[in-house]
A and B are shown apart, each in its own frame.
Chain A
Amino acid sequence: MKSENRNRVAVVGACAIGLLVLAACQPPASTEVVKTGVEPKVMADALHAVMEADRTVYTRNVINRLVKEAKVIKASEHWKDEPALPLPAQMFRMGAEMVAKKDAGFSYSLLSIWPINKQNTPRTDVEIEGLEYVAENKGSNFYAEEMLGEQKYFTAVYADTAIAPACVSCHNEHKDSPKVDFILGDVMGGVVLRIPIGS
């Protein structure tokens, strides 16, 4: 009876060890995702395409049309305190905040070498290099990798261009704008999009 029990224990123990070995040999799920997933650059470009489209639609078809052309409502950074529309940059940032709350696997921000709010000045080396690059090389994007904290990121920088008269007049007339001679088509800043990579 005793030896039977010992045998049972041995069998159960062997099975447990076998399962542990199998589990250890199993490649982690994350490796599979990397192998079959979308390249960070492709993902960043796709995300930016959506952002840029939404931003253009809001700026041209809402802000410029209602504020500049029809003059039926104003746009104000204090839109909650006034009967006013949120500024295009605020719309963009509100979206970025909602995404950040969802912990969606990427983050983005709207920065500028000539920011109205100084908190939106480029801070990391990649931000500085990227914003200068897209300002000097119209139509080109900037891609790099950077370590922030203990995390490595694929970082893409896309030019943010003055696409409507409202963009130009608002920035040129704002009391805190360090640059007041923007013209239509100028690069006014950039969208910085980050995707964490590696472990």
Chain B
Amino acid sequence: MSGKRGALLWAVLSITGTIILGLPMLMPEQMQASPIDRTIFLPGDTTDGHYQIEIECDACHTERFSDKTSMQGACVECHAAELERVDDSHPRTKFTDPRNADRVELLDARWCITCHQEHRPEITSTMGLSLPEDYCYRCHENIAEERPTHVDLPFDSCSNSGCHNFHDNKALYEDFLVDHRADPDFREAAFVPLRDFKSIAVGREIASGEPLAPADHDAPRDLPDLDVWVEEWSVSGHADSGVNCRDCHAPEETAWVDKPKLAVCESCHSLEHEGFLASRHGMRIAAGLPKMTPGQARLPMHEEALDRSLDCNQCHGAHAYDTRFAAVDACLECHVDDHSESYAASPHAALWEKELAGEAPAGSGVSCATCHLPRIADPREPGRTRVAHNQNDFLRPRDKMIRSSCLECHGLAFSLDSLADPALVDTNFTGRSTVKVKSIHYATKLRWQLEGKPPPWSEADKGNE
């Protein structure tokens, strides 16, 4: 091949390649229906928290050739509310403060992507962390001077021994540890808060709050399969709260609609809907992608569930939305990892069975949802209890679920130790932890020293506190 022909061929191939590769990046909307698989543009595997939406590049790369600022905007868009809720121990403002300019040179924590780099699986650990775990040391190298208990502790042990997290320390701060040092392992009154949707429906004048019988329904009499719908509705929370058929199918005197739009559900369940869309189950919908299927999951899933589409109705039927099904069976129909498979034989499941059988009070059973979709105070209507539907907020690090779930029934030390034992997590907490987290011991020792008192344990017990 002559030099000229070779150069021409090179030019043609380069231009063609650039067009093929560049168009989907530069014109993503126009190329949405393109047969080109956008995964070819991924520079490396995405993290467990983002792979579901990895082909929707714009979700994070909000601008062409995004810089740090626009990338930060995308992080904040999804994660700011959670950081606010947990009182982020290291907010960005700590690092934009000019007095910390020298620290920023060591660790530029003004930007999420300094510690959480995407598409770098070779350096990414749990929590999407792509820094060596000695990052605490960069600013807290002198900690042993004010905390003598920390002398000789390994410099990478701060965040991997159950003691500290970079962002969420709501269950780990010193005074909290000391205040809860003497908690019993099992509380006498062990209940999760009960939901109170009835009061929400009544408060918003959507329903009377008076339970309705099957004969009270106000659906058109000529609807196909009316008997089936009415029967399912009549044993639901809707009928119990006085929410009749027309309240959803023909609200405010509008014409009857067989399948009400999501907006109707949202009038009462917006918090749950928002939580779902932010969750690993619903984030694909929020990003404009087809619904998540268990087949796309990185966790082990049941073979027969792989093709299901995850939306509200997968766990909650439109009429037969038994939340007891949603709290356990719906999860176990898909999830088949060790932790999930061990549930049925766990002490938590035994309590759940007792509650379902009416042998124990409401709120005393422990379902999958008790820990992973916990009951939380309604941030918009204080005093009301809702179910959080974004499991990400309570998943990792594991001690994020201490305040939202564990402490309802267990003591702090018991909870810290249990969550720190991976083998115990796999058996779904069947047995006792073999791990001892030292943080309560350290905090208590320091408090007693500062107050000039002997520690509340004998030397022989040291370390077993």
A and B form one complex = yes
* B87 / chain A contacts, CB cutoff of 8 Å: 80
9-residue interface stretch from A9-17, A20-28, A54-62, A148-156: A148-156
Q: Given the complex of chains A and B, what is the CA–CA distance between A148 and B101 in angstroms? A: 6
Residues of B within 8 A of A (CB): 87, 91-93, 96-102, 104-105, 146, 173, 175-176, 447, 450-451
Q: A78-B175, A80-B87, A109-B97 are in contact. Are A149 and B105 (CB under 8 A)?
A: yes
Q: Given the complex of chains A and B, what is the CA–CA distance between A176 and B178 in angstroms? A: 14
Of the A-B pairs whose beta carbons lie under 8 Å apart in the complex, a sample of 9, sorted by A's number, is: A96-B93, A97-B91, A100-B93, A148-B101, A148-B102, A149-B98, A153-B98, A175-B447, A176-B450
Q: Given the complex of chains A and B, what is the CA–CA distance between A96 and B87 in angstroms? A: 15
* A123 / chain B contacts, CB cutoff of 8 Å: 99-100, 102
Q: Does A127 contact B (CB under 8 A)?
A: yes
Q: Which B-chain residue is minimally distant from A192 (CB atoms)?
A: B99
Q: Which chain A residues in 57-80 approach chain B with CB under 8 Å?
A: 77-78, 80
* B176 / chain A contacts, CB cutoff of 8 Å: 78, 81
* B97 / chain A contacts, CB cutoff of 8 Å: 100, 107, 109
Per-residue contact bits, chain A 41-52, to B (CB 8 Å; 1 contact, 0 not): 000000000000
Q: Given the complex of chains A and B, what is the CA–CA distance between A124 and B97 in angstroms? A: 12
Q: Which A-chain residue is minimally distant from B403 (CB atoms)?
A: A81
Q: Does A138 contact B (CB under 8 A)?
A: no
In the A-B complex, the 8 residue pairs with the smallest Cβ-Cβ separation, listed nearest first, are: A149-B101, A100-B93, A148-B101, A175-B450, A148-B98, A97-B93, A194-B98, A123-B99
Say how far A43's CB is from chain B's closest CB, in angstroms: 16
Q: Given the complex of chains A and B, what is the CA–CA distance between A81 and B99 in angstroms? A: 30
Say how far B434's CB is from chain A's closest CB, in angstroms: 30
Q: Is the CB of A100 within 8 A of B98?
A: no
Q: Does A101 contact B (CB under 8 A)?
A: yes
Q: Given the complex of chains A and B, what is the CA–CA distance between A148 and B447 in angstroms? A: 36
* B104 / chain A contacts, CB cutoff of 8 Å: 149
Say how far B134's CB is from chain A's closest CB, in angstroms: 19
Question: A96-B93, A101-B92, A175-B447 provided; 10 other pairs, C-beta below 8 A?
Answer: A78-B175, A78-B176, A118-B146, A123-B100, A123-B102, A148-B101, A148-B102, A151-B98, A175-B450, A175-B451
* Contact count A vs B, C-beta below 8 Å: 46
Q: Given the complex of chains A and B, what is the CA–CA distance between A187 and B173 in angstroms? A: 29
Q: Given the complex of chains A and B, what is the CA–CA distance between A96 and B96 in angstroms? A: 12
Q: Given the complex of chains A and B, what is the CA–CA distance between A129 and B146 in angstroms? A: 23
Say how far A114's CB is from chain B's closest CB, in angstroms: 13
Q: Which A-chain residue is minimally distant from B447 (CB atoms)?
A: A175
* B450 / chain A contacts, CB cutoff of 8 Å: 175-176
Say how far B402's CB is from chain A's closest CB, in angstroms: 13
Say how far A55's CB is from chain B's closest CB, in angstroms: 19
Say how far A192's CB is from chain B's closest CB, in angstroms: 7
Say how far B85's CB is from chain A's closest CB, in angstroms: 11
Say how far B42's CB is from chain A's closest CB, in angstroms: 33
* A194 / chain B contacts, CB cutoff of 8 Å: 98-99
Q: Is the CB of A109 within 8 A of B99?
A: yes
Which of A78, A148, A176, A192 is the most central at the interface, judged by chain B CB atoms within 10 Å of its CB? A148
* A151 / chain B contacts, CB cutoff of 8 Å: 98, 101
* B96 / chain A contacts, CB cutoff of 8 Å: 100, 107
Question: Within the complex, which residue of A101, A127, A196 is in contact with B93, where a contact is CB–CB below 8 Å?
Answer: A101
Q: Which chain A residues in 129-151 approach chain B with CB under 8 Å?
A: 148-149, 151
Q: Is the CB of A127 within 8 A of B91?
A: no
* A101 / chain B contacts, CB cutoff of 8 Å: 92-93
* A96 / chain B contacts, CB cutoff of 8 Å: 93
Q: Given the complex of chains A and B, what is the CA–CA distance between A80 and B450 in angstroms? A: 25
Q: Given the complex of chains A and B, what is the CA–CA distance between A11 and B176 in angstroms? A: 76
Say how far A130's CB is from chain B's closest CB, in angstroms: 12
Q: Is the CB of A148 within 8 A of B99?
A: yes
* A81 / chain B contacts, CB cutoff of 8 Å: 176
* A77 / chain B contacts, CB cutoff of 8 Å: 175
Q: Is the CB of A127 within 8 A of B447?
A: no
Say how far A179's CB is from chain B's closest CB, in angstroms: 14
* B173 / chain A contacts, CB cutoff of 8 Å: 78
* A192 / chain B contacts, CB cutoff of 8 Å: 99
Q: Given the complex of chains A and B, what is the CA–CA distance between A97 and B94 in angstroms? A: 8
Q: Is the CB of A124 within 8 A of B99?
A: yes
Say how far A63's CB is from chain B's closest CB, in angstroms: 19
Q: Which B-chain residue is minimally distant from A100 (CB atoms)?
A: B93
Q: Given the complex of chains A and B, what is the CA–CA distance between A78 and B175 in angstroms? A: 9
Q: Given the complex of chains A and B, what is the CA–CA distance between A48 and B175 in angstroms? A: 32
Say how far B403's CB is from chain A's closest CB, in angstroms: 9
* B92 / chain A contacts, CB cutoff of 8 Å: 101
Q: Given the complex of chains A and B, what is the CA–CA distance between A194 and B101 in angstroms? A: 13
